[in-house]
Amino acid sequence: MAPNWDDMRVFLAVAREESLSAAGRLLKIDPATAGRRIARLEVSLDAPLFTKSQQGYVLTSAGERLMAHGLQAEEAMRAAAGALAGSSKTLSGQIRIGAPDGSANYLLPQVCAKICDANPDLDIQILALPRIINLSRREADMAVTVSAPTAGKLLVQRICDYKLHLVATQAYLADHLPVQSLEDLRGHRMIGYIPDMIFDRELDYLVDIGIDRVPLASNSVSVQLRQVALGSGICVAHDFTLPFHPGLQKILTDQVSLTRSFHLVRHEGDQRNERLNRFAQALSQGIREEVERLEAEASP
């Protein structure tokens, strides 16, 4: 019996999710069906593909070998579908973007809405996670990152720079000691990321300005800004978030002005996918324009 593509799709989903139930949710089939597909594939190949452990379904050595070929087949199918979809004047189907929550909350909603307006048959999903998106497991079709990965078979494109500054509310500043230098920050409550949950060195802003204690911390940019808006302290904020928080004002701008960059990261195998190429171009252009617009609005 020769293996078929539907069974291979289930195999790839189980290998990535390490669970029949999670793979079933992804493919919109029940776990029992997923299990039967795996069993049928194992019979057709005459080899066990998974072992069940406390961690879930783990690939055997035969499964590892099949995974490499399965990924190649998946990329070929995606490229074929992309080539056909790319011939249309508008984009369609589903595209998932992974992004850290700063860009996911304050940039991607309006950028993606604009792209959808121009492409009514396109479904865009924004996956906001406080960690690096795993493209090899197809958690997303592409990811916006704050640093350029150097490992893996990936396409990396720099999108644009963005600025960050220290911010606080006027009420907080009026009720606490003056902030006229970096040294003065030691007498104030700082708000930032949870130190041991910073997944990218580029996000370790407070260390860069000599702060070693974070009394109020969260792995979410939105939570940090909400805490500052309540008058709870001072944090480093993206300039593009400030138009959404009109009560916050920049401080020490002559002493602290950080610059970071956004990158668009994609699967290397998608470089011939015209549909994803067109979407990536529209997304990158949209992010550049939105950062420029919001930073101009946030300028003193």
Q: Work out the number of other CB atoms within 10 angstroms of the CB of residue 106.
A: 22
Alpha helix (H) residue ranges in 194-273: 205-208, 221-229
pLDDT tens column, 91-124: 888 899 999 989 999 999 999 999 999 999 999 9
pLDDT given at position 207: 87
**136 pLDDT exceeds 70?**
no
Q: Where are the beta strands (DSSP E) in 170-254?
A: 190-192, 216-217, 234-238, 248-251
CB 49 within 8 A of CB 12: no
pLDDT tens column, 235-277: 999 999 999 999 999 999 999 999 999 999 998 878 878 889 9
CB 111 within 8 A of CB 287: yes
Beta strands 258-267 and 142-145 are: antiparallel
- Residue 129 amino acid letter: L
